[in-house]
Amino acid sequence: MSKELITVVTVCFNAGQTIAKTMQSVLNQTYRPLEYILVDGKSTDNTLNIIYELEPLFHEKGIAVRIVSEKDKGIFDAMNKGVKLANGRWVNFMNAGDVFYNDKTIDFVFSHEIPMEVKLVYGDTLRQKSYAVPVGGINLS
C-alpha cells in the first residue's frame, strides 16, 4: 500500500505564545508524505518571526510547507484558504497551541487503507488544562 499525502493546516492570528509548540508537534510526526500549511491572519506580534524561523526545519525533514499571511475575514475564511491550498486527500486542522498525542499519531490513523467512500476520519482528543492559582492561594468564600 502506497502512503497518501496528508495535509495539516494551522490557522492563526497573533499566536506567538503557542505557534512554536504546534509547529514542533507537526515536525515530530514520523508519517511521510506530509504537507504543512500555515494560514496567518496578518499577525502583529512575533508569530511570523517564529514561523519563518522554524520553516527550514520542515524542509530538512522532508515536509512540504506553505505559509500565507494576509488579512482574512475570520477563522472560517482562513480555514477555507488552507483547504484550497491543500494537496492531500486528508486534511487535519491543528489549531495554534494544539499538539498531536505523540509523534506517531498520523502514522497510527493512516496505518491501514481507508476506503474511498469514507469522507471523514475522527478520533478521541485529550484536553490538558492548567489552572493558574493566584498568589496567596484560592479564595473559596
- Give yes or no for residue 44 having a pLDDT over 50: yes
- Give yes or no for residue 42 having a pLDDT over 80: yes
Residues 22 and 99 sit within 8 Å (Cβ to Cβ): yes
Which tens digit of pLDDT belongs to each residue from 15-35? 999 999 999 999 999 999 999
Which tens digit of pLDDT belongs to each residue from 77-123? 999 999 999 999 999 999 999 999 999 999 999 988 899 999 988 88
pTM, 2 dp: 0.88
Q: Residue 36 is which amino acid?
A: Y
Please give the grid coordinates belonging to residue 138.
484560592
Q: Which residue has the cell 508524505?
A: 33
Spatial distance between the Cα atoms of 117 and 38, rounded to a whole number of angstroms: 28
Using CB atoms within 10 A of its CB, is residue 47 exposed (0-12), middle (13-18) or buried (19+)?
Answer: buried
- Give yes or no for residue 141 having a pLDDT over 50: no
